[in-house]
Amino acid sequence: MAEIKVPELAESITEGTIAQWLKQPGDQVEKGEYIVELETDKVNVEVISEEAGVIKELKADEGDTVEVGQVIAIVEAGEGGSTASAPETAEEAPKESPAQESKEKTAEVAEEKKGRTIASPAARKLAREKGIDLSEVSTVDPMGRVRKQDVENHGSKPAASEPKKEAPKAKQESAPKKEDTKPVVREKMSRRRQTIANRLVEVQQTAAMLTTFNEIDMTYVMDLRKRKKDRFFETHDVRLGFMSFFTKAVVAALKKYPYVNAEIDGDEIVLKKYYDVGVAVSTEDGLVVPIVRDCDRKNFAEIEQEIVNLAEKAKSKKLQLSDLQGGSFTITNGGVFGSLLSTPILNGPQVGILGMHTIQLRPVAIDAERTHNRPMMYVALSYDHRIIDGKEAVGFLKMVKELLENPEDLLLEG
């Protein structure tokens, strides 16, 4: 008999949600076969069975939150379902203390979750290490989420005990107000959607975010793409899109304006000497930002192929944590959905994000006497004003514009 436990996921991830059981009690399972899909803050992880046999018991339901190391299933060796297994179970009865302990641990986890404040995995881990009750920790997060720094500051604020006790009362008082008098459908937010929501709120609370805009005449990029796309596809077996042009233009601009390729760490500015560009991808579960590594060393075909691969992995929920970590700048393309103009939110701890939008024919003055209809795209650069001044932000976006309006220069920069 073997216990299936939640494996170590990543340094910053201590729990997940049962997204889907791939096996049910009584099903045969092979060693190394996937039996459950876990949804974490960042990616979905499939857990395998370390032993061949039959699923005897599932100790968590779909939608339950489970912690690293928690027993979630029992696999019994053998073919299963036969009466021959009964004597073995009877003989093993005296040895069931580990299983009893795991049940007690699961019960404790379940009891702990009843009525507890929403908290980040890092906050829960630190609270366990310090022996702090999360329900007694105050937070400034408007959504009530306890963060790691809240736990760190807990001991230094003894006078805050009274407000902490009032927080649960506020939640209880607000509950009756949410009674629905008209037909509605309530859906529980997925773990990933909760994480996205909390991160966006955190960025807006901690960063001095501003957005600057410009517009790009896409005539020459579109002409070049039209002339080269067939040969490009025949040579590289991948389509020539706009993302490779924008990625190369961004890399060139980041080299000239290095503070846009940085992040803040305490009282230090970390200037990144690499160009790992995140490309936002929309999935059924929300927006994810996989990273295209070393864009300064990749050619157009390699960038396009990497974007295709990452997008396919994102939509099939096959992204790994390594695909999402360590980006230095992000590009998001709302234009694929028809967005004409928007202000993208920073992907913290990055300090810059470029928003692309839909291409639209608009009349453009060529000179004082001529006006032509041109395929124009509005672009937006959101940036952290704590380390990026307006002059740098405008210069960065202007350089991206100039490179895309002169793609031959972009090829030379690349």
Task: Give me the active site residues, please.
Answer: 385, 389
The amino acid occupying position 8 is: E
Residues 6+ apart with CB under 8 A from 181: none
Token pair of 257 as six digits: 């304006």
Q: Which residue, among 332, 235, 338, has the nearest Cα to 288 in the 3D structure?
A: 332
The CB-based long-range contact list for 91-94 (8 Å cut-off, 24+ gap) reads 92/1
Spatial separation of the C-alpha atoms in residues 45 and 62, rounded to whole Å: 14
Helix (H, G, I), strand (E, B), or coil: what is residue 379?
A: strand
Rounded (5°) CA angle 366-370-372: 65
Q: Which residues in 22-58 belong to E strands, given as ranges?
A: 28-29, 34-39, 44-48, 53-58
Instruction: Give the angle subtended at the CA of 266 by the CAs of 263 and 270, to the nearest 5°.
Output: 30
Task: Sheet containing 15-21: give its strands across.
Answer: 44-48, 34-39, 15-21, 65-67
